[in-house]
Amino acid sequence: MANEGRTSPRRVIVLGATGSIGRQTLDVIAHLNADCQRHARPPLFEVVGLAAGRNAQALSRAAKTHRVQHLALAQGEPPTTGTLTGPEAAERLVREVDADTVVGAMVGFAGLPAMLAAAELGRDIALANKEALVAAGELVVDTARKSSAKLLPVDSEHSGIWQAIGAHIAGAWNQSPPPMEIGRDVSRVTLTASGGALRGMSPKAIYNATPRQALAHPTWDMGAKVTIDTASLTNKALELVEAAWLFGLRAEQLDVLIHPQSIVHALIEYADRSVLAQMGAPDMRTPIQTALTWPDRHPGLAPSLELARLGQLDFEAPDHELFPALRAGFEIIRRAGTSGAVFNAANEVAVQAFLDERLPFGRISQISCAAIQEVGSSPIRSMDDVLHADAEGRRFAQTQLNDTPATQATHG
């Protein structure tokens, strides 16, 4: 998509530009353009729009550094007079500013309208905002299919699946970006999980973990919400659903393996039992760049993988009892409909309450899993169904918060 043969740079909008993925995306773009300059080639990318939530200062700094005119801010004082503002600002930016690629690096359900707009407009979507696919995978994928929008995975595991499939099927890497159907010759797709910051702790210590403990991730440096999701394995549940939508996978074809070093990102087992694994140093700049420059490869910013220095790679089965959210991921794929939107909404409310020290860590998954059972699920016919399910999931979680003391030291 990106490069060879193009005389003009690809125009990119970065949503969530002030966050972990957004900032790394801008670093990757600056690095690739500097590389072009060194080789007297035209730049690969031009950043034409940036959106953020509430950090006006960081948005303004990024706009100056990357010379971006079109800005959007969901909340707070806009940094320039022309900045789009309000909850719909990111979606308006996508609709009003012409672009080739939209990077979806906003966190949470709030990113969905802008993702759907990008899919409607047939943009290439470098997708990090997994919550959009979990809540409304059916709508996003259908819309992308109709407009021929490409959903290029940024999540390292999904980038791994995509590359391991592309390596196997002749020409698939060049021609078949997601959404795609994996053929019958794939028997199992395994997503690895680091295990998060609380891996190895006792059930009681996990239940009562503090935000500080849960935020101390050993291998990835990420935003707060995804780091907490990683500690509860909710992130892996969301990723299972994301993989099901991107690659047309059934729950029975999916699997999760704990791999603390985060070097192997995904494994594809074929029917003949041959397995292809995708590896790389745990550095999100690699999958971000893979999505941006697809199907071409350019020198990357991450360190080379030195397996001899690492010495060993460890794998273990996840504990479904200790981390019940994981089971919910499989259940959402089987149930489909609005179950993903309900689960995601309840989780967003519970994670925020935990970060605000109003909820014990162990209650997060209890609440989000209970939401699927209590709120139930119905088919998605329109965005209204998704919005309704999201509101119901939030309402359910809110009632649960009111019934929960902030700590339960006797649990376990």
- Give me the residues that bind ligand NDP (CB under 6 A), please: 16-22, 51-55, 74, 90, 105-107, 110, 128-131, 155, 220, 222-226, 284
Query: DSSP label at 78?
Result: -
Identify which of residues 21 and 258 has a Cβ nearer to ligand NDP in the complex: 21
Identify which of residues 90 and 258 has a Cβ nearer to ligand NDP in the complex: 90
Least distance between ligand NDP and beta carbon 110 (Å): 4
Identify which of residues 44 and 128 has a Cβ nearer to ligand NDP in the complex: 128
Select from 75, 86, 88, 150 the least CA-distant residue to 118: 150
User: How far is CA 7 from each of CA 2, 4, 67, 190, rounded to the nearest angstrom?
Assistant: 11, 8, 20, 39
Q: Contact, 143 vs 120, CB < 8 A?
A: yes
Q: Contact, 397 vs 345, CB < 8 A?
A: yes
Counting every residue written for the chain, the total comes to 412
Least distance between ligand NDP and beta carbon 293 (Å): 18
Identify which of residues 110 and 401 has a Cβ nearer to ligand NDP in the complex: 110
Burial class, 316, CB count within 10 angstroms (exposed 0-12 / middle 13-18 / buried 19+):
exposed
Least distance between ligand NDP and beta carbon 54 (Å): 5
Least distance between ligand NDP and beta carbon 305 (Å): 18
Least distance between ligand NDP and beta carbon 351 (Å): 11
As beta bridge partners, residue 266 has: 191, 278
Q: Contact, 323 vs 368, CB < 8 A?
A: no
Select from 339, 321, 328, 342 the least CA-distant residue to 396: 342
Q: Which positions ≥6 away from 391 have C-beta within 8 Å?
A: 345
Least distance between ligand NDP and beta carbon 350 (Å): 16
Taking CB positions, which residue lies at the least distance from ligand NDP?
19
Identify which of residues 242 and 331 has a Cβ nearer to ligand NDP in the complex: 242
Kind plus residue range of the DSSP H or E element containing 225: helix 224-231
Identify which of residues 131 and 390 has a Cβ nearer to ligand NDP in the complex: 131
Identify which of residues 201 and 224 has a Cβ nearer to ligand NDP in the complex: 224
Please give the backbone phi and psi of residue 214, each rounded to the nearest 5 degrees, phi first. -70, -20
Least distance between ligand NDP and beta carbon 11 (Å): 19
